[in-house]
A and B are shown apart, each in its own frame.
Chain A
Amino acid sequence: MRGITFATIALLVPAMAQAQATAVAGGSPDHIDLSLPVTASVQAQCSFASGTAPNGSFAAADILAGFTHDFGFAMQCNAPCRVAVQSANGGLYVSMGSPPAGYANLAHYSATLNLAGDVGVTSVNAICDSATLTASAATPCSFRGPASATQGLKLNGTASNALGSYLRVSAPIYSGSVTLIASSAYTDTLTVTLSAAL
C-alpha cells in the first residue's frame, strides 16, 4: 500500500454546495493531514405564514364609543425578525378641509403590536399612538414602518408559523376636548411589513 495514497473527503453542505477534495501523496510519509475549513450559511428568510398575513378590514360603528380589534397573523422566520407598521393618515381621518376651531376630523387610536415566536422565544409587545405611525411623524413610533433589518419591533428568535402575533387597534370612549365632526367616512390604512433582522 505504500506508494500513492488517496484521501477523499466529501463535504456536504445542505442546499448550498457540495465539494469534494482529493489529496494525492507519494512516498513517505504514508499519510497526510489535510485541514479544510468548512463553512456555509443559510439565508435569513421571513414571511407571513401562508394565508395569515395581517390583511382585512375593521369598521368602528361609533368611534366615540371606543373600539378594539385584533388583526392576527403568523410569521415564518428562521432568524430574528422585525415587524413595523405604517399609517396612511395617522388616525381615522375624514377629508373636509380645515375644520372650525374646536372641531377635528382626525380620531387618534392606539396600535398595539404583539409578536410571538417559537417555544422558548420571548414574545414582545409595544404600543403607539396612531399619529406616530405616519411616514412624516416628527416623533415616530418605535415600530413605525417600513420594516428593515434595523427598524421595527424585533422578535429575537425564530417563528415557525407561531400563533399569537397580532396588530391591535383600539380607542377608549372619546373624551377629547374637541368635537369630532360627524361623518361615516373616517378611514385609515395600516401597512404591516416584516423583515429579517440581521
Chain B
Amino acid sequence: MNRTVLAALAAIIVASAMTAPASAQTVSGGVTLTGAIAARCGTVDTGSTSVSGSINLGELSASTGELNPVLVNSTTNSPAGAAVFRLGCSGSAFRVTLSASRLDNIGFPPVDPPGSSVVDYTVEAKIALATGGFALVDYTTAAATPAPTVQTVNSFVANLTDNFDIRVFGFHPDNGDAALMVAGSYSGDITFLVAPLP
C-alpha cells in the first residue's frame, strides 16, 4: 500500500515539472523604402528625348502660278498639313517652346514682286490635356525672325496616342498672295521643345 502511494506521488512531481506550455512568440523588424521619379518629358515614359517627322505639302502653286488658295485659306481647324506624336510628361506642368523657319526655295534668293520664293506660315502645337481640352501654342514665321514662343502649361498631358498635334496653316508668300511662286523645292523647319517644370 505504501509503495503504491509513493510511486503515485513521484509521478505527480514529474508531471508538474512539464506543465509550462510551449508557445509561439512573434518578433518584428521594419524597413522603409523611399523613391523618386524625376519630372521629365519624352516620347515614352522612360525617356527618349527627341522626335522627328515631316510634313509634305506637295505642290504649292495653283494653276495660276500663285500660291494655292487652299494653303492661303487654311486654318487651325482646317490645316494644310500636320504631324502627330505621342509625348508624355511625368509632371503636372510643362513648358513648350515653339519656333519655325520660313518655307524657302532652296538655293534661290528672295525675289522682288511679282515673284516670290519665300512663304510664311503659322505652326501650332495642339496638346491634349489630361483634364480635357487642349493647350494651343502658336508661332508665325516672318522676315524678321520672331523669338520662339514659350508657353507654360499647368496640366498633365493626356496619356493618349497623338496627344501632340503639330499643324501648319495660314500660308502667305512674302510678296503677297498674288505673287507668282518661283519653281523649285521649298523647305522649312519646325522646332518644338517640351520640358518638364519642377
Picked from B21, B45, B89, B156, the residue with its CB within 8 Å of the CB of A174 is B45
* B1 to A: closest C-beta gap in Å: 11
A92 to B37, CA, bound (A): 11
Picked from A43, A178, A185, the residue with its CB within 8 Å of the CB of B23 is A43
Picked from A16, A73, A102, A188, the residue with its CB within 8 Å of the CB of B29 is A73
Closest Cβ neighbor of B197 among chain A residues:
A182
A7 to B18, CA, bound (A): 23
Picked from B6, B30, B33, B39, the residue with its CB within 8 Å of the CB of A23 is B6
A176 to B45, CA, bound (A): 8
Asked whether, in the complex, the Cβ of A179 is within 8 Å of the Cβ of B90, the reply is yes
* B55 to A: closest C-beta gap in Å: 27
In chain B, positions 1-60 with a C-beta closer than 8 Å to chain A are 2-3, 6-7, 9-11, 13-18, 20-40, 45-47
- The answer, yes or no, to whether B91 is at the interface (CB within 8 Å) is yes
Interface of A is mostly: strand
A59 to B34, CA, bound (A): 5
Asked whether, in the complex, the Cβ of B32 is within 8 Å of the Cβ of A64, the reply is no
Asked whether, in the complex, the Cβ of B27 is within 8 Å of the Cβ of A183, the reply is no
Asked whether, in the complex, the Cβ of B46 is within 8 Å of the Cβ of A58, the reply is no
* Residue interface bits A18-33, CB-to-B below 8 A is 1, else 0: 1111111110000010
- Interface positions of B (Cβ within 8 A of A): 2-3, 6-7, 9-11, 13-18, 20-40, 45-47, 88-92, 130-131, 156, 158-160, 196
Asked whether, in the complex, the Cβ of A182 is within 8 Å of the Cβ of B6, the reply is no
Q: How many residues of A contact B (CB 8 A)?
A: 83
Asked whether, in the complex, the Cβ of B10 is within 8 Å of the Cβ of A36, the reply is yes
A170 to B158, CA, bound (A): 29
Picked from A92, A101, A180, A193, the residue with its CB within 8 Å of the CB of B45 is A180
Closest Cβ neighbor of A13 among chain B residues:
B17
Known: A54-B29, A58-B31, A183-B37. 10 other contacts (CB 8 A): A21-B11, A23-B10, A26-B2, A44-B24, A46-B27, A60-B33, A107-B35, A185-B34, A192-B31, A196-B24
Q: Which of A116-124, A134-142, A145-153, A156-164 contacts B (4 or more CB under 8 A)?
A: A145-153
20 contacts between A and B (CB under 8 A): A17-B18, A18-B17, A21-B7, A23-B7, A24-B3, A41-B18, A42-B22, A43-B20, A43-B22, A43-B23, A53-B29, A56-B31, A64-B45, A92-B33, A149-B24, A167-B31, A175-B45, A186-B36, A186-B37, A187-B35
Closest Cβ neighbor of B11 among chain A residues:
A36
The interface residues of chain B lying within 8 Å CB-to-CB of A58 are: 31-34
- The answer, yes or no, to whether A38 is at the interface (CB within 8 Å) is yes
Picked from A18, A55, A61, the residue with its CB within 8 Å of the CB of B30 is A55
Picked from B17, B38, B89, B90, the residue with its CB within 8 Å of the CB of A16 is B17
Picked from B38, B47, B131, the residue with its CB within 8 Å of the CB of A182 is B38
